Structure 1
């Protein structure tokens, strides 16, 4: 079998058996297609060797790809050939001795409490006029920050996932793992306004185009389901100027929420549960952020710093 022909069966395995997220599968598919393009579309799978894989990674290094990208590419190739070996497509796994630079762990971008509060206040002011899109944007910003959600989790919320009385939302995270997370009074008020005035107006736009509205809580301007790209644009327009950053995505609100929880004295295990992290080690990055902020305050304020 040719290398290029084995890519899609492997991606189906990742999605159906390993139940990886669509974004992860898409990234791995792109990595393997790039490998096939580099080695040759007609390359026989059993003839791919370690030197060709090393050369492929070396070219990525020469392009200036980040350590994170190189680590992902290595993981993709190793996973692919492990599957190919188990499936009997190859007898020897050429990726077993493939190594790449260790992934650097940079601290996430985090907005200050005042900066995030200012963004949310401005969003609320824009919604006072009753514009349905402004009401939606204010509600999604509040919920992203208030519940520290991933963008995919936000886009997947349906009406029965919200418990407005208890102020909780049920979301499906990575690996189809379900969890229930709380949200605060500000998010509750923004959601109530959006559900009462904003969402019905957006839903009616779908009817005007002869189709039913999406069954998701957050709708696009034409009544369809709001996608991750649109949420990114909303967050970038609202938060980017406040942080002075050219590109700010929804994860910044998630990072900020986690850091602010720890700064406020929240238990690390509780933050792990809210974020839906499988490993406590993933959550611990936010303790480093808190320590960095504390050190910065110390250096600015202490006379002997």
Structure 2
């Protein structure tokens, strides 16, 4: 299993954490349940591990918010569904293949274990937000101005939606990664917006456009806490875009990916209150990655009064290697699809 590049400060990437979780989980199961070393696991053991993940004992399960060093931490939250079970077994297969290449193992028992069928589902087909759902969320965010935590949550959600960045990407970028760009807009007037330098998956770099108003709001927050309002000021170097400006800290600290994720999940659950059953259900299930899907879907499909964004631009925003991956987001809203087809059916 090839290692992934760590962050500049040696922190584990999201992929590394996910792979570590799977390796730890298997190692604990092998030692505690099978009383074996990894090198002694057989096909029978590998099959038993698949069944274990599909229906783990309650003693192996616990809430995800406990830290790994806590006595309340558990390797699992509950049984794994088809998608997560397939991912877990795929990672374990890769781990054993890596150990074979290193000469630690002579065989890979997980190769013969059947994987759950991969569901055929377009990217973001159900894990996205409609225009009306996002408008509802954004209206609620507009009221979040009273406390630093309120404004930070608003900043996180609006930046995720506007840029399409991944959670790990948005929590790693800093003020010095932003560059102002003056250009001629479609109406012929001069405009200024910003480009954000991002290091994404595979250690690939890209520049993602950011609206000027979001950068101005970040500048306001910096000034509110005694820093230079100009985001690109030398004194702001090292300050994360997603910073926590706590009053008892001399310098702001980065908002963790897990902290941002949990704050957005809690906000979306509250935003579901008072909506109809279908919308409420969607918002309760939504997470940070849904904002990335919404960015792609809304940009590519356009909304009333706005032209769709070209496919290649959205591909760059998302950091996709394949244009085909991005094109899977080109879908009309459900009602628009039905209206268009009804018009077609009536003419045939």
Mark the runs of 5 or more structure 1 residues left unpaired by the alignment: 1-9, 202-212
Indicate the residue corresponding to 2:92 in structure 1. 77
Indicate the residue corresponding to 1:47 in structure 2. 40
The count of aligned residue pairs is 279
Q: How far apart in 1 are the matches of 2:12 and 2:344?
A: 46
**What does 1:182-197 correspond to in 2, within 5 Å?**
182-197=209-224
The answer as to whether partners of 1:133 and 1:198 remain within 8 angstroms in 2 is no
Inter-CA distance 296–24: structure 2 relative to 1 (3 Å threshold)? farther
For each residue in 1:19-53, what CA deviation from the matched residue of structure 2 results, as whole angstroms up to 9, or x when unmatched? 99633222233323333333335523333222221
Q: Does 1:270 align with 2:313?
A: yes
Indicate the residue corresponding to 1:205 in structure 2. none
The answer as to whether partners of 2:268 and 2:284 remain within 8 angstroms in 1 is no
From 59, 78, 90, the equivalent of 2:52 is 59
From 124, 129, 153, the equivalent of 2:169 is 153
SS for the counterpart of 1:95 is helix
Inter-CA distance 87–16: structure 2 relative to 1 (3 Å threshold)? farther
Inter-CA distance 167–118: structure 2 relative to 1 (3 Å threshold)? farther
Of residues 111-120 and 144-153 in structure 1, the stretch that sits farther from structure 2 once superposed is: 111-120
Q: How far apart in 1 are the matches of 2:322 and 2:177?
A: 25
Of residues 265-274 and 214-223 in structure 1, the stretch that sits farther from structure 2 once superposed is: 214-223
Q: Does 1:280 align with 2:323?
A: yes
SS for the counterpart of 1:133 is helix
From 228, 243, 257, the equivalent of 1:219 is 243
The answer as to whether partners of 2:218 and 2:241 remain within 8 angstroms in 1 is no
Q: How far apart in 2 are the matches of 1:83 and 1:40?
A: 20
Mark the runs of 5 or more structure 2 residues left unpaired by the alignment: 57-78, 182-192, 229-236, 247-251, 273-278, 303-307
- Which structure is higher in helix share? 1
Per-residue deviation at 1:172?
Answer: 1.7
Q: How far apart in 2 are the matches of 1:199 and 1:253?
A: 31
For each residue in 1:41-88, what CA deviation from the matched residue of structure 2 results, as whole angstroms up to 9, or x when unmatched? 552333322222122112323455212111111211211111111101
TM-score (structure 2 length as normaliser): 0.68
Indicate the residue corresponding to 2:149 in structure 1. 133
Q: How far apart in 2 are the matches of 1:296 and 1:187?
A: 36
The answer as to whether partners of 1:132 and 1:199 remain within 8 angstroms in 2 is no
TM-score (structure 1 length as normaliser): 0.77
Q: How far apart in 2 are the matches of 1:34 and 1:142?
A: 36
